[in-house]
Amino acid sequence: MEVDPQASSRVPGMSRQVVRSSKFRHVFGQPAKADQCYEDVRVSQNTWDSGFCAVNPKFVALICEASGGGAFLVLPLGKTGRVDKNVPMVCGHTAPVLDIAWCPHNDNVIASGSEDCSVMVWEIPDGGLTLPLREPVVTLEGHTKRVGIVAWHPTAQNVLLSAGCDNVILVWDVGTGAAVLTLGSDVHPDTIYSVDWSRDGALICTSCRDKRVRIIEPRKGTIVAEKDRPHEGTRPVRAVFVSDGKILTTGFSRMSERQVALWDTKHLEEPLSLQELDTSSGVLLPFFDPDTNIVYLCGKGDSSIRYFEITSEAPFLHYLSMFSSKESQRGMGYMPKRGLEVNKCEIARFYKLHERKCEPIAMTVPRKSDLFQEDLYPPTAGPDAALTAEEWLGGRDAGPLLISLKDGYVPPKSRELRVNRGLDTGRKRTAPEASGAPSSDAISQLEEEMRKLQATVQELQKRLDRLEETVQAK
């Protein structure tokens, strides 16, 4: 006896066989109105496969076309509308900027990688720039070819990763301006397409032109696991960590169809899920939200954003829906959860780059109530670092320090990024001490006292969070 699928969806107890129950099934994208966009910005024409945009609760940053060097634009989030053609920019690089990333622990600090082989870290004043910014807080020099990827450690203070076209990954302690870890061309024999930190920053996941995806312990320099040819095609693969020890890859089939695949890092022989999407040529940029287990796929040159939900049971990767618009995207920025409007049930926000415009797109779960929806907003990563750079380098790992969004998020006051250029933890100084300057021993002692104070403050914050959770539970 055959069962009519439509009839079975109406029979109590049989609906799960037809439609999977999910609170995110009806998530929809809503582009911002014209007066909430950033108009008249000359978005970079570079063909490099990065998002060209980075956002946080204070600022939006866009890589722009610039004559005579590399520049990017930083605007306060609320400064929407037409952008003055003479607006001051960050313009310290001598060649085009390829990637930018905001520090997760300081909303005023941004890193940039450029074709001039350098990485620069900048401090943006509250309220934005009033004059062009040419002097970075620190310049990190160590790559011999252009730097196409920069990525901050998710939980350790002042730890920054950069990957260059010299096939080298460097991990920097921005506080000292020193490269503290190097993964050389013996690890990646060809161009590195993507790098992603795990949620606690213990591992990195990389994709390379040699058609291999690697999971690496950066402090030991060892490859924990690797997969050869996760996708059969020749075009670039990208890989990101998702929940429960899994990774998600985007790539192309042998027939040049775009694919998305989910893998268990302990068993990389076969994918948990492999889905073919379409025949477009643009590389898919994946953005994963660990709070909702939704992954968003944004293709460069596409006019759509697809989103999938990841679950712990087969078939693991569930297609939810797709946001479509008329104009294609040159790049994409992704807002951290603490920058969203929780009273509107907004679970993600993208900043889509057009040729001359940046357009915010809100992803929303339709709910009738305007009360705080706890099931949509579990505690999320806050702006405080869980570890110092020294603690992480010493072998400690920690997940992000979580905050509740119940009463909305209020950004902390701007924190100054302090760089001790004279200090280098990787090697001893041989130059004599400058007259009148404090000795390296005195500085080390002060640093040790500051670390202890930071640890005490973090412990008190954790206790306060636990106390608040107890009070809320009661």
* 192 vs 25, residue with greater confidence: 192
For the ranges 107-111, 402-406, 413-417, the lowest mean pLDDT is seen at 413-417
| Cα distance between residue 110 and residue 120, in whole Å | 8
What is the pairing mode between strands 212-217 and 53-55? unpaired
Alpha helical stretches, state H, 246-335: none
Q: What is the pLDDT of residues 424-467, one digit of tens each?
A: 333 332 233 333 445 555 566 676 677 777 777 777 777 777 77
Confidence of residue 129 (pLDDT cuts 50, 70, 90): very high
- What radius of gyration, in Å, describes the C-alpha atoms of the chain? 23
- Exposure b/e, 375-385, CB count within 10 A at least 16 = b: ebbebbbbbbb
Whether the CB-CB separation of 420 and 440 falls below 8 Å is answered with: no
> Which are the contacts of 36, defined by CB distance < 8 A and separation ≥ 6?
80, 360
| Cα distance between residue 413 and residue 197, in whole Å | 27
Predicted pLDDT of residue 301? 87
Once rounded to an integer, what is the mean pLDDT over residues 33-47? 92
Whether the CB-CB separation of 233 and 252 falls below 8 Å is answered with: yes
Residue 261: CA atoms inside 13 Å, Cβ hemisphere, count?
A: 26
One-character DSSP codes across 310-334: E-SSTT-EEEEEEEE-SS--SEEEE
Q: Which of 430, 403, 436, 426 is nearest to 178 (CA)?
A: 426
Q: What is the pLDDT of residues 292-307, one digit of tens each?
A: 999 999 988 899 999 9
| Cα distance between residue 21 and residue 25, in whole Å | 8
Whether the CB-CB separation of 350 and 298 falls below 8 Å is answered with: yes
Q: What is the pLDDT of residues 92-126, one digit of tens each?
A: 999 999 999 999 999 999 999 999 999 999 999 99
Mean pLDDT over each residue of the chain, to the nearest integer: 87
Task: With H, G, I as helix, E, B as strand and everything else as coil, classify residue 338.
Answer: helix
Distances (CA, A) of 294 to 25, 153, 276, 323: 11, 21, 18, 14
